[in-house]
Chains A and B, each alone.
Chain A
Amino acid sequence: MLRLWPLGLGVNFSFTGDGEGNGATVGLDNYADLIDDPLFRTALRNVGLLVLLLPVAVAIPGLLATFIYLRVPGHRFFRSVYFFPAVLSPVIVGAIFNLLLAFDGPLNDVLGGSGVGPVDWLGDPDVAMFAVVGVHIWATSGMALVVFLAGFATLDPALLDAARVDGASLARMIWHVIIPGLSRTIQFVVVTTMIGMLTSMFGLLYVMTSGGPEGSTYLPEYYIWVQQGQMSRPALASAASTVLFLIMLVVGLLQVGLLRRAGRED
């Protein structure tokens, strides 16, 4: 009841008006406004972009964990280094990368020194979303890396030894031994990373771009926050929340299906 009642209220409010129409039933008007709002459409498109970038977000900690598992020189040191960002708050991470990615910041200084022109990392609408997602992956991959390392603990080392004896290259070992051996771990990381990307990027977005430039980095939860607080349109925000809820429901059901299938295979 405690969970369903607020949810029901939110859905209910999405059918009422804002401002002078406060409390009046407006049917699906708020949903029509959402469809008409290019900002909300951008937010939804960005959800799609996150889904497309998901393999990258999973591959990076996977590869790093593989290198650590294969005992690259200094692997103990790297394990700590890769995990370290996971303990930082998104606000701190955002502030750090705001400095690093500033137009006159150190990264552009390095690029300028190497003859590549400066990039407006957070001011170019074609680049900003990738910059924020990149920082999110940097900040959160440590946790996925730990999960991968735990998965490696269950991997039969004899298979890797056999591959080595057969003279398999690193790429072949990853493709034919590690990926099949870690399929359940990979599926788990895919699910948790997707949840993280859809629900935990607000802090970074707020600090790094505030939804800009040109609204290019809006995500549904940021849109909801702006409409509710800045624009004083709680009913419209409720409608956007309902849409986000439905998206999460679909994603959740897909996740359940994925895990069930993994269980059956096992």
Chain B
Amino acid sequence: MKQRTLWSATLVAGLVVLAGCGSASDPDSASGGSKDKLVVWDWKSGDAAASAYVKKAKADFAQQHPGVTVEFAAQPFEQYYTLLGAAIQAGKGPDVMLFNGGGQIRDRADSLLPLDEYVRDDKKRLAGWEAFTKDGKTYAAPVTLQGHPIYYNKSLYRKAGLDPEQPATSWDEFVANCRTITKATGARCFAQGNKEGIGIQFFLSGLGSGVLSPTEYDDWIAGKRDWSSPAVKRVFSLWKETNDKGLNNDGANSTAMFNDAFAVFQSNKAAHIIGLMSDIGHWKDFAEFLDAGDVGVMEPPVVTAGATPSLPYDGGIGYAVAKSTKDPKVAADLVRSLTSTDALKPFYADAGAIVADRTVDVSSGGPAVATIVSGIDRGKPALHVALSSKTVDLMGRLSQQLLSGSVTVDAAVKQLAASDQAG
């Protein structure tokens, strides 16, 4: 008995002595590859639609570095950041890794290599760098652009006696059109999926430029966010109103965005959806179920006078390099191969992704792609991408509470302001 007590006391004493020494994550540990081998983590290389892209990129890199092996390890997207975080913390992370633009990469910038000196020549050719930048340093090179166009079903417009080539430009007109469509076809206005709290991100960014003034919009992106402004509150009250007035499909809080909400739109049960540009829930996906010519893309309707609608977009996905990689130059070259024009061409052609390379010809993509691409030059970064992961996570839960009525808009905005200011 005495011995058992002694052991317990020793264990407790050991823990007390250890307490606070070391760290949970170890960004300085060696990465998974070696000098002759680069390990790449992503969630794309396993897709058939990306195989030609990966093949081209590997060939380009092999030409420059014939002695270096490249090993792609595709991970399931749902668990990607959990697995990546654990691997980095264990010092067994990959050399090169795929990131979504925004909070996820900024949160892990400490473990990544600034790429500015390696990608200088690609700066003009590629778009969407801002989403991979933190404190003036670039941590990934963009592969695709990600944005939130408002897609609409032209066939439902026609059935309701509306001109499908003239979608509404103001919110009131938009709602009136929706009422007409619902009356004529039974389809709801919006396909909405907020089971994971993602719907609010799409809503905020998809409609935000029609609500915020251009100055407020730019300030938001620059980090000067005034959460108490009427326009910001209007976005969240609009989110609630849209649901309360029956414009969304029923059960938005229990409908997954991927792929249930998209299925609602594709099956003619809703006339609009705020979708993506790359590379799921986008024009090419929808055109597999709807006639390609019936997939329209419209600008956000103006909710507040003085707002200037624009396409919300950022760098979608991009490859970054671990700080701990053995040879940064070689790893950066692989990133350059993965963002080369020759590699990105088949990614657009096979997956339908709007790639970050401005020189890739997309003229054969059809009217939806043409509308999206024409909006890129005067487009602005998406509003939700500027927020931290923590605030985005909180926004997801609050958005569900707004729909269920368990929080007011004022209270929700106050909580978001506090989270945003905390960083």
Binding site for B on A (CB under 8 A): 4, 8-9, 11-13, 15-20, 22-27, 39, 101-104, 118, 120-125, 209-210, 212-215, 225-226, 228-232, 234-235, 237-238
* Chain B neighbourhood of A8, CB < 8 A: 11, 14-15, 18
Instruction: Decide yes or no whether B23 CB sits under 8 A from chain A.
Output: yes
Complex contact A12–B15 (CB within 8 A): yes
**Is B421's beta carbon under 8 Å from chain A?**
no
Do B85 and A228 touch (CB < 8 A)?
A: yes
Is the Cβ of A12 less than 8 Å from the Cβ of B107?
no
CB contact list, B405-420 vs A, under 8 A: 406
Please name 19 pairs of A and B residues whose Cβ atoms are closer than 8 Å in the assembled complex, sorted by A.
A4-B11, A8-B15, A9-B22, A11-B15, A16-B20, A16-B23, A18-B24, A39-B397, A123-B251, A123-B255, A124-B253, A210-B196, A213-B253, A213-B254, A214-B397, A214-B400, A214-B406, A215-B397, A235-B24
Give the nearest-CB partner of A123 in chain B: B254
* B interface majority secondary structure: helix
List the B residue with the shortest CB-CB distance to A121: B254
CB distance from A233 to the nearest CB of B (A): 9
**Smallest distance from the beta carbon of B12 to chain A beta carbons, Å?**
10
Chain A residue nearest in CB terms to B89: A234
Q: Does B63 contact A (CB under 8 A)?
A: no
Interface size on B, as a range, is 35 or more
Q: Which of B77-95 contact A (CB under 8 A)?
A: 79, 81-83, 85-86, 89
Q: Shortest beta-carbon distance, B323 to chain A, in Å?
A: 13
- B81 / chain A contacts, CB cutoff of 8 Å: 229-230, 232
CA distance A215 to B89 in the complex (A): 27
Q: Is the CB of A234 within 8 A of B19?
A: no
Closest chain A residue to B260, Cβ basis: A102
Q: How far is the CA of A17 from the CA of B260 in the complex (A)?
A: 39
Among A101, A230, A234, contact of B393 (Cβ-Cβ < 8 Å): A230
Q: How far is the CA of A19 from the CA of B388 in the complex (A)?
A: 13
Which A residues are in CB contact (< 8 Å) with B406? 125, 214
- Which residues 299-358 of B have a CB within 8 angstroms of A? none
Which residues in A have their C-beta under 8 angstroms from that of B195?
Answer: 122-123, 209-210, 212-213
Contact, CB under 8 Å: B20 / A225: no
Contact of A12 among B22, B83, B196, B197 (CB under 8 A): B22
Q: Does B108 contact A (CB under 8 A)?
A: yes
Known contacts A120-B253, A229-B81; 4 additional CB pairs below 8 A are A8-B11, A102-B251, A123-B254, A229-B82
Partner of B254, one of A13, A24, A102, A229: A102
A120 CA / B248 CA spacing, docked (Å): 15
Residue of B nearest to A122 (CB): B254
Instruction: Please state if A12 and B82 are interface contacts (CB–CB under 8 Å).
Output: no
Which 4 A/B pairs are nearest by Cβ-Cβ distance? A103-B251, A229-B82, A123-B254, A25-B20
Name B252's closest neighbour in chain A (CB-CB). Answer: A123
Given A212-B196, A231-B389, A25–B254 Cβ distance below 8 Å?
no
| A231 in complex: contacting residue of B22, B390, B397, CB < 8 Å | B390
Q: Which residues of B contact A237 (CB under 8 A)?
A: 24
Tell me whether B397 and A212 are in contact (CB under 8 A).
yes
CB of A22 within 8 A of CB of B21, answer no
Measured between beta carbons, the chain B residues less than 8 angstroms from A231 are: 107, 389-390, 393
Say whether B250 faces chain A, with CB atoms less than 8 Å apart.
yes
Given contacts A102-B254, A230-B393, A232-B108, contact A23 B82 (CB under 8 A): no
Residues on B with beta carbons closer than 8 Å to the beta carbon of A118: 250-251
B 200-214 contacts with A by CB, 8 A: none
Any A CB within 8 A of the CB of B110: yes
Given known A11-B15, A214-B404, contact A25–B21 (CB-CB < 8 A): yes
> Which of chain B's residues 96-124 have a Cβ closer than 8 Å to chain A?
107-108, 110
With an 8 A cutoff between CB atoms, is B69 at the interface?
no
Please give the distance in Å from B132's CB to the nearest CB on chain A.
16
Query: Is B27 located at the chain interface by the 8 A CB criterion?
Result: yes
Known contacts A103-B254, A213-B253, A228-B86; A124/B404 CB under 8 A: yes
A12:B18 contact, CB within 8 angstroms: yes
Chain B residues positioned under 8 Å from A18 (CB to CB): 24-25
Chain A neighbourhood of B83, CB < 8 A: 229
Q: How far is the CA of A70 from the CA of B245 in the complex (A)?
A: 55
Question: How many angstroms from the CA of A210 to the CA of B85 in the assembled complex?
Answer: 19
Interface string of B12-48 (1 = CB under 8 A from A): 0011001111111101000000000000000000000
Q: How far, in angstroms, from A248 to B24 measured CA to CA in the complex? A: 22
Which partner residue on chain B sits nearest A226 by CB separation? B393
Q: Which residues of B contact A103 (CB under 8 A)?
A: 250-251, 254-255
Most buried by B among A4, A9, A103, A225: A103
Interface residues of B in 356-414 (CB under 8 A from A): 389-390, 393, 396-397, 400-401, 404, 406
B56 CB, nearest partner CB in chain A, Å: 32
For A103, give the chain B residue with the smallest CB separation. B251
B352 CB → nearest A CB, Å: 27
Distance in angstroms between the alpha carbons of A20 and B191 in the assembled complex: 40
